Amino acid sequence: MTKTGQKAPRPPEAAEKGGVSRRQFLAGVGGLGVGALLGGSLAALALPDSVYAVPASQGYLLVDTKKCGGCESCMLTCSLVHTGKENLALSRIQVAKSALAGFPQDSAQYQCRQCPYPECVEACPTGAMHADEATGVRTVDEGKCIGCQRCISACPFTPSRVQWNFEERHAQKCDLCKNTPYWNREGGPGGTQACVAVCPMKAISFTAELPVQSDEGYEENMRNIHWSNLSFPIDDAGKVSAETYMRAKAAKPAGEDASTDSGKMA
Amino acid sequence: MADRAYGYAGKILVLNLEDESYETVDTDPYVGEWVGGHGLASRLFWEYCEDKTVDALDDRNVIVIASNPFAGTIVPAGGGRVEVTGLGPFSYPEWYSRSSVGGRLGGSMKNAGYDAVVVRGTAPRRVWVNVVNGDVTYCDAEDLWGKDSWETQEAIWDRVTNNTPLGEWFDLPGNRESGRSTSRPAVFAIGQAGENLVRSATITHDASHVSGQSGFGAVFGAKNLKALSFMGTKSIDIADPARLVELRLEIQEKLGYKVDDPVNEAPVPQAVPLYSSLLHNPGGGTVGQTIGRPDGCQGCYRNCRAIYRDRMGNQSTCNAAAYYTASGKREDQKRCNSLLNQLGLDGYETDMPVYLYNLYKMGVMGKGKEIDTDLPFENYNKYQFIDTLLHRIANREEIGEDLAEGLVRATMKWGRWDEDSKGLLRRPNWGYPEHYDPRLEVEWSYGSIFTERDINEHGINWCVHHSALVPMMFGQEPFLPADKLVEQVAKGTGLEDPLCFDYSEKGIYSDEKVRAVSWHRHYGRFWIQSMGLCDWMWPSLVNFTNMTDTDYAGVSPAFEVELFKAVTGRDDFTYEKSLELGHKQLLLDRAIWVLQGREPETEQLADYVFELPTDTPYQLPVYENGTWSYSDCLGRTLDRGRFKDVQQRFYASEGWNERGYPKREVLEQFGLADVADALDAAGKGA
C-alpha cells in the first residue's frame, strides 16, 4: 500500500542511463502504452537539454480510485474556488460516474498529472500555457490565451486535462489551487488544495514527489484498516472482501497475538 | 452576478404534454417567498393545476419537480435533492402529496437551465423529454416503453451523448461555448410499474434515487411520459463562494466521519445499519461485506450508499435495502432492491410479503383459497417468490391486479381491512405502513395524519429513539443520558423546552408536544423539503459521529441559516423567517387538502393505534415524577379523546378553524388572499 507523501521508487535502470528520447519519455508518462514507472528525480536527469528548461512541478494530486465516493464534492469545490460558481463542467478535476455500472468500473477520476514534460505547454504558441516559475505548476496565463485550443488537443490523456473555459473563453487546467480568487486560503504547492480539503473520503492527497504511475494512472491506496471496518476492501486492486481483513483482526486463540488497530468503540 | 438570483438557474420549464409544447417563466417572482423545492412546487401546483379535486391519474393533474438554491452545490448533505409534488394515487384517499429525490438530479436540472419543471396534460403519444442547456425536445418513447428504469436511463444516456463512452468529454450541441461534460445526463424515468399505473410506482434516477412515496410513477405513466432527461453546462452563481467553502469545511470537520481515524466506530462493522446511521458512516446502507465503494449524492459529505461489484444493490439504502430478507442471502437482498428500482416500485409502499405469507399460512390466500392466487408461497424463502410477486404487481398480472392498487385498497376488496387493520396489517395513516410506532413517537404519527403521507423525516427520530435503542442492542449505555439528550435536542431545534420531547403518557398530549409537532412540520417543509437538506443528516441536533463526553452538540439551527446566506446572499434571512415560510407552505397545502375534501373526521389513525397496546420495548425519553429517563413504553395506546384534543390544538396553532380550514385572516397575513378566495368559492372559507 502506497502511503501519501511516500517517496516514489527509483526509476528503471535503463532510463537513468540517459539517452532517452523525448518521445520515449513521453511514452512513459503520457499514457501511450508503455506503463513505465518513473520517479520524481527523473524529470531533470533524463530529459534532453531542450526540455530541461521546463521545471518539474513541485506538487501533484493523487487519487485513490477505489476510495472515491462519487459525491463530486471535489468538482463542485474546484469550480467554486476558481470561478465563484458551481459548475461541474468548469471543474479542473473530473469524476465520471455511472451508478448503473459495477465497482470499480462505475467511476473514474481524472486529475492533471502536471506532466514532467508538459505537451500542453509545448503546444501553446503564445506562452499562455506555462510552468510557473516559482512552483513549476503547469498553468495558464489567461491574458495570453488566444483560444486556439492546441493545448487541449495536445494533452495526451483522455479526457483531456486541459479544458476550454467556455464562459471566460480561455484554456484552464489544474493549478493546484495556486490562483483561487474565491477562496481565502493559500493554495499551490505548500498550500491547500480545495479538492484535497473537501474530499470527505480522504481519497485525494497532495504530494511533492512525482508519483509512481502507469498507463492506468497513479497507483494509490489510501485505505487503512478503518476502511475495512466499513465493509469495503483495502487491498490495492479492491478485489478482496473486507471480511478477510476482519477475520485477520478477530480475536485469536490464547497464545497468539491479537490483531490491533481495531479503532475505538462507541 | 448574472440576471438571476444567486443559487438559481432563473427559469421554470412548463411542459404542455397535450400538444408537446413548452414555455418558460422566470423564477424570480417565486424566489422571495416560495424559495424552492416544496414551496416553489406547491405554489406552481396551485397556479397550474386548474382543478385540484380531480383524481391523481386524471390528465388535469399536474406534477411539479422543483430544485432549490442548495442543489448542485457543496452544501453538506443538501446538494442533491429535488422535490416532486402533485396529486398522488397511493394514499387512501388520494391527497395532494409529495416526494423527494436525491442523487444529482437537482444540480443537473439547474445546469440544464431550469429550477423547476411543471408537467401538464397527457401526451398524445409515448414520449420522453430531453432538456439540454435550456433546449427542450419531445422524443418518441415507443421503443422505451416496456423497458425497466435502468435500461431506459442507459438508452437515454447513449442517445443524448451520441454514445460517448464514460470518461470522455461530450461536446454539448452548439459551439465551443456550449461547454463539454464528462457527466451522464440525469434521467428521471419510470419502469413497468409506472407504465401500468401501479399506485406504488416510483420515478427512478440513477440506480436507487427514487421519488418513492405517493405513486408519482403512475402519474408519469398516465401522462404517457417515460422520462425526463437533464444535461447542461450552465453555471450556478453563488453569493459568497469563499464563505460557502469555509462553512462546508467547518461542518465536515465537526460532523463528518473521519474515515482514516474515526472518533467512534460501530462495535460490529456494519452489523446494524442503524448504528452506522447514527455515526454517519460512509456506506451506512451497505448490505453486508462487500467489494465496492461508498457512494454519495452530489455534494454530500457522508456518502451513505454503496456501489457493488455486480451493480446489484447499487445506491440502496434504508427500508428498500432491507425489503427482502426471507432467503437469508444478502445477494438476494441486494438483487431485490435493484429489482424494485428497475420495475419502479416503492419498497415501502409495497411492504407486503410478510402479510401475504401470513394470509397463506392462515389458509386464506393461495391456490383455490378465498383469495385465489398461485403465487409460489411454497418457495417463500427463495428469491423466486419475491421475483414473481414484484413482477406481477408491476405488470398487473394475476393477484398483482389487486395489489397494484395498494394493500389497503386490495384488503378492502377482499373484505379483510376491518379485521386485519386492528393489528395484522399495520397501516396507521393514509394506507402507509407503520414506519415508527404511532402510539409513541407522535411527531411522526401526528405529523403524518395532519398532512398527506408518512412524513419520513428522521431528524428527531435518530436522537430520541435510535440513540437509546441501538446501543442497548449491544449492551451499551445510550449515547447520552435522557436529560442531556432532550436538553440538546431542545436547543438544536430552537424550541428550548425539553418538555417538547417528553414521550410519557402525559407528554404526548401536552401543549409542548403540539408545539414540537408544529415546529417539525415547519422545519421539515422549509429546510428538508424546500431546501433539500437530507433528513438523515438534518436537523443536526446531536453529533453522534464525533461525540465526546463534553462536546456533542450538532450544528442546528445556526448553520442552516449561514449556508442559506452564503448561497443566496439574503443576509437578512433568519431562522424564524424560515419557519414562517414553512408555516406558509403548510397553509397552502392545507388549503389544497381542504379543497380535496379534508375534514377532521378523515384524519383518523387506524384502530390498532387506539386499541392494541404496545408490546415491544421502544426506547424514548420520558419525564415522570420529576425525572428524565428512557422508557420501554410498553402497554401504551393512544386515547381517542385526547388525540382529538391534540388535533384541535394543532389546528389552532396553525391558524386553522375547528374544521381544519385555514382562516382568511391568517392566510392574508401570509399574503395568501387568493387562497382564501378559492376556499370561499368552494364554500370552505374560514
Domains of chain A in sequence order: 13-220 (3.30.70.20), 224-251 (no CATH)
DSSP letter at B509? G
Strand-pair partners of B308: B292
Of A69, A72, A222, Cβ closest to residue B293: A69
- SS3 string, chain A, reads CCCCCCCCCCCCHHHHCCCCCHHHHHHHHCCCCCCCCCCCCHHHHHCCHHHHCCCCCCCEEEECCCCCCCCCHHHHHHHHHHHCEECHHHCCCEEEECCCCCCCCCEEEECCCCCCCCHHHHHCCCCCEEECCCCCCEEECHHHCCCCCHHHHHCCCCCCCCEEECCCCEEECCCCCCCCCCCCCCCCCCCCCHHHHHCCCCCEEEECCCCCEECCEECCCCCCHHHHHCCCCCCCCCCCCHHHHHHHHCCCCCCCCCCCCCCCEC
From the number of C-beta atoms within 10 Å of its C-beta (0-12, 13-18, 19+), residue B604 rates as middle
Asked if residue A19 has pLDDT above 50, the reply is no
Q: Closest Cα to residue B465, out of B476, B483, B478?
A: B478
β-pairing, B63-66 with B21-26?
Answer: unpaired
Best CATH choice for the domain B11-231 from the list 3.40.50.720, 3.40.50.150, 3.60.9.10, 3.40.50.1010: 3.60.9.10
Ramachandran angles phi, psi of B252, nearest 5°: -60, -40
- The rounded mean pLDDT for chain B is 96
A148-194: pLDDT as tens digits: 999 999 999 999 999 999 999 999 999 999 999 999 999 999 999 99
Reading the block at residue B180, the C-alpha cell is 463539454
A74-104: pLDDT as tens digits: 999 999 999 999 999 999 999 999 999 999 9
The pLDDT-based confidence of B434 (bands split at 50, 70, 90) is very high
B288-297: pLDDT as tens digits: 667 999 999 9
Considering only residues 172 to 231 of chain B, which have any Cβ-Cβ distance to chain A shorter than 8 Å? 176-184, 206-208
Q: Looking at residue B266, what is its pLDDT? A: 80
B571-619: pLDDT as tens digits: 999 999 999 999 999 999 999 999 999 999 999 999 999 999 999 999 9
Of A68, A184, A226, Cβ closest to residue B262: A226
- Do the Cβ atoms of B555 and B544 come closer than 8 Å? no
B331-390: pLDDT as tens digits: 899 999 999 999 999 999 999 999 999 999 999 999 999 999 999 999 999 999 999 999
Considering only residues 139 to 158 of chain B, which have any Cβ-Cβ distance to chain A shorter than 8 Å? 150, 153-154, 157
- Does B477 contact A at CB distance below 8 Å? no
Q: Is the dihedral of CA A109, A115, A119, A122 positive or negative?
A: positive
Distance from CA of A19 to the nearest CA of B (A): 35
Those residues whose C-beta lies under 8 Å from the C-beta of residue B504, and which sit 6 or more positions away, are B622, B623, B624, B631
Reading the block at residue B615, the C-alpha cell is 408490546
- Does A232 contact B at CB distance below 8 Å? yes
Q: Looking at residue A241, what is its pLDDT? A: 83
CA–CA separation, B573 and B6 (whole Å) = 14
Q: Looking at residue B270, what is its pLDDT? A: 55
Reading the block at residue B63, the C-alpha cell is 406534477
- Do the Cβ atoms of B116 and B41 come closer than 8 Å? yes
β-pairing, B116-120 with B11-16?
Answer: parallel
Beta strands in B497-609 (DSSP E): none
Q: Looking at residue B559, what is its pLDDT? A: 98
The 3-state DSSP composition of chain B as helix, strand, coil percent (nearest 5) reads: 40, 15, 45
Instruction: Please state, as a whole number, how many other Cβ atoms lie within 10 Å of the Cβ of residue B50.
Output: 9
Considering only residues 522 to 561 of chain B, which have any Cβ-Cβ distance to chain A shorter than 8 Å? 544, 547
Of B260, B289, B302, Cβ closest to residue A224: B260
CA distances from B383 to A1, B102, B123 (A): 39, 28, 37
Q: Closest Cα to residue A110, out of A204, A223, A239, A235?
A: A204
Q: Looking at residue B289, what is its pLDDT? A: 64
Domain borders along chain B are: 11-231, 241-420
Q: Cis omega before residue A159 (within 30°)?
A: yes
Considering only residues 49 to 78 of chain A, which have any Cβ-Cβ distance to chain B shorter than 8 Å? 66-73, 76-77
ipTM of the complex: 0.97
Reading the block at residue B226, the C-alpha cell is 417515460
- Do the Cβ atoms of B287 and B277 come closer than 8 Å? no
- Do the Cβ atoms of B15 and B128 come closer than 8 Å? no
| Burial readout B423-451 (b: 16 or more C-beta within 10 A, e: otherwise) | eebbbbbbbbbbbbbbbbbbbbbbbbbbb
Q: Looking at residue A30, what is its pLDDT? A: 41
CA–CA separation, B184 and B488 (whole Å) = 42
Of A90, A96, A232, Cβ closest to residue B290: A232
Q: Looking at residue B155, what is its pLDDT? A: 98
Strand-pair partners of B117: B13, B65
CA distances from A201 to A35, A266, B104, B258 (A): 28, 20, 18, 8
CA–CA separation, B649 and B203 (whole Å) = 37
The pLDDT-based confidence of A243 (bands split at 50, 70, 90) is confident
Calculate what percentage of chain A has a pLDDT beyond 90: 63
Angle, nearest 10°, between helix axes B575-596 and B673-681?
A: 20
Q: Looking at residue B232, what is its pLDDT? A: 98
CA distances from B159 to A231, B114, B130, B145, B156 (A): 36, 21, 10, 16, 5
- The C-alpha cell 429535488 sits at B82
The pLDDT-based confidence of B317 (bands split at 50, 70, 90) is confident
Fold classification of B241-420 is: 1.10.569
CB contact under 8 A, A80 and B303: no
- Does A263 contact B at CB distance below 8 Å? yes
Beta strands in B369-431 (DSSP E): 371-372
Q: Looking at residue A229, what is its pLDDT? A: 85
Reported as type and span, the H/E element at residue B332 is: helix B330-343
Reported as type and span, the H/E element at residue B28 is: helix B28-34
CA–CA separation, B446 and B89 (whole Å) = 21
Q: Closest Cα to residue A90, out of A183, A167, A202?
A: A167
Distance from CA of B169 to the nearest CA of A (A): 6
Reported as type and span, the H/E element at residue B97 is: strand B95-101
More confident residue, A27 or B486: B486
Reading the block at residue B399, the C-alpha cell is 393477484
Q: Closest Cα to residue B103, out of B231, B228, B206, B214?
A: B206
CA–CA separation, B622 and B464 (whole Å) = 10
DSSP letter at B429? B
Asked if residue A121 has pLDDT above 50, the reply is yes
Distance from chain centroid for Cα B206: 16
Reported as type and span, the H/E element at residue B366 is: strand B365-366
The full DSSP string for B145-156 is: TT--HHHHHHHH
Amino acid at A243: E
Instruction: Please state, as a whole number, how many other Cβ atoms lie within 10 Å of the Cβ of residue B602.
Output: 14
